[in-house]
């Protein structure tokens, strides 16, 4: 009973640590969702401002045309008045009569221009927000639901047995693929998208929640494995089994995969995992603990195939 209680205490401590990890993970997911919501609102704001700019430009163009018409007509009338006042020759009466006829025609044109401008309705802009959007946001009590998922795993000789809830087949081949797709690694991002490594085609692919390939990033050599690190970043174990042993970091932004930093190791990179800011990279005969920047912290060597003993090297 004491042994069982001690085991229960250890399990409870692990569950407590798991809860803290879940808290951190959910916080990352919430921030990722908030970032995506901000991006959508930024796009809506940009489109609305662009619509406003187009309307302002059209109205300004019409008003400027009216101003040009008024200024042109004003200058023509002023010129005719000045010419009439300067008539002093012996045929003054005839010249005045001709000038009167021209002025009458020009006044008629000016009257038509004034009436046309005055008849146009005054354009006043106002902004009317989408009330359905505001009402939808006001009705929200949170960005999502926090659910408690309970599970009681079956036990067989001390091992945990997990039952699959569902399964399905999805095509992740793209037109750029020249070889059969070989999925060597998969992880989920806080946004709900998935990232897989296709070792046979030397590329990493981004899948949406419907498991459709929406983007990819080509690599110079084989991606053996990948894992999620922070935010929308993944670490990819890249290895050509001869000389190139590296860990690449890819970032998902605006639905695309972008290559980031990388670091080189002195050992093969078969698998990679992330835990509490540390990377764990496995080679053929060892497990290597590195910082996120690539600095080696510890190395666990497999010293015996028979006993399965490990030797920790600093």
Q: What are the DSSP calls for 148-201, one per residue?
A: ------EEETTEEE-------------TT--S---EEEEEE-TTS-EEEEETTT
199 has a pLDDT exceeding 80: yes
The listed range with the strongest mean pLDDT (143-152, 208-217, 238-247) is: 208-217
Report d(CA 187, CA 212) in Å as an integer. Answer: 15
Using 50, 70 and 90 to split pLDDT, how confident is the model at 218? very high
Contact predicate 198/166, CB 8 Å: no
Structural domains of the chain, count: 2
Contact predicate 272/226, CB 8 Å: yes
Same domain, 116 and 190: no
143 domain-assigned = no
Mean predicted lDDT score pLDDT of the chain: 83
Q: Which residues pair with 259 in a beta bridge?
A: 250
Same domain, 17 and 86: yes
136 domain-assigned = no
Report d(CA 22, CA 7) in Å as an integer. Answer: 22
141 domain-assigned = no
Using alpha carbons, select from 308, 287, 309, 307 the residue that is nearest to residue 296: 287
Report d(CA 230, CA 251) in Å as an integer. Answer: 10
Same domain, 85 and 193: no
18 domain-assigned = yes
Same domain, 113 and 197: no
6 domain-assigned = yes
| 30: containing domain | 2-121
Query: Which of 121, 140, 156 is at the close of a domain?
Result: 121
Q: What is the pLDDT of residues 130-171, one digit of tens each?
A: 888 888 888 877 877 776 665 555 554 455 667 777 778 888
Report d(CA 106, CA 147) in Å as an integer. Answer: 81
Q: For position 265, which CATH number holds?
A: 2.130.10.10
147 domain-assigned = no
Higher-confidence position of 155 and 34: 34
Q: What is the pLDDT of residues 75-113, one digit of tens each?
A: 888 888 887 777 766 667 777 788 788 888 888 888 888
Query: Which of 79, 94, 121 is at the close of a domain?
Result: 121
39 domain-assigned = yes
């Amino acid at each position: 009973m004491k042994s069982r209680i001690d085991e229960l205490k250890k399990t409870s401590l692990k569950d407590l640590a798991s809860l803290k990890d879940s808290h951190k993970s959910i916080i990352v997911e919430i921030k990722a969702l908030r970032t995506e919501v901000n991006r959508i609102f930024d796009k809506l704001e940009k489109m609305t401002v662009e619509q406003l700019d187009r309307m302002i430009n059209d109205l300004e163009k019409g008003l400027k045309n009216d101003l040009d018409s008024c200024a042109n007509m004003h200058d023509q009338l002023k010129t005719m008045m000045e010419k009439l006042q300067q008539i002093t020759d012996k045929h003054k009466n005839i010249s005045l009569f001709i000038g009167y006829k021209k002025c009458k025609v020009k006044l008629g044109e000016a009257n038509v221009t004034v009436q046309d401008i005055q008849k146009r309705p005054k354009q006043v802009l106002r902004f009317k927000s989408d009330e359905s959007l505001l009402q939808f946001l006001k009705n929200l009590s949170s960005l999502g639901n926090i659910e408690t998922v309970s599970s009681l795993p079956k036990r067989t000789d001390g091992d945990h047995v997990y039952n699959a809830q569902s399964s399905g087949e999805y095509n992740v081949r793209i037109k750029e693929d020249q070889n059969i797709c070989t999925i060597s690694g998969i992880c989920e991002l806080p946004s709900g998208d998935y990232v897989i490594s296709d070792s046979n085609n030397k590329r990493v692919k981004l899948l949406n929640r419907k498991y459709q390939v929406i983007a990819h990033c080509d690599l110079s050599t084989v991606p053996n494995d990948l894992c999620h690190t922070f935010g929308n970043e993944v670490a990819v174990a890249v290895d050509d089994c001869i000389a190139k042993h590296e860990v690449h970091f890819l970032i998902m932004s605006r639905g695309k995969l972008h290559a980031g930093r990388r670091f080189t190791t002195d050992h093969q990179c078969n698998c990679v995992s992330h835990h509490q800011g540390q990377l764990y990279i496995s080679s053929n005969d060892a497990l290597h603990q590195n910082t996120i920047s690539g600095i080696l912290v510890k190395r666990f060597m497999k010293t015996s195939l028979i006993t399965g003993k490990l030797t920790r090297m600093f």
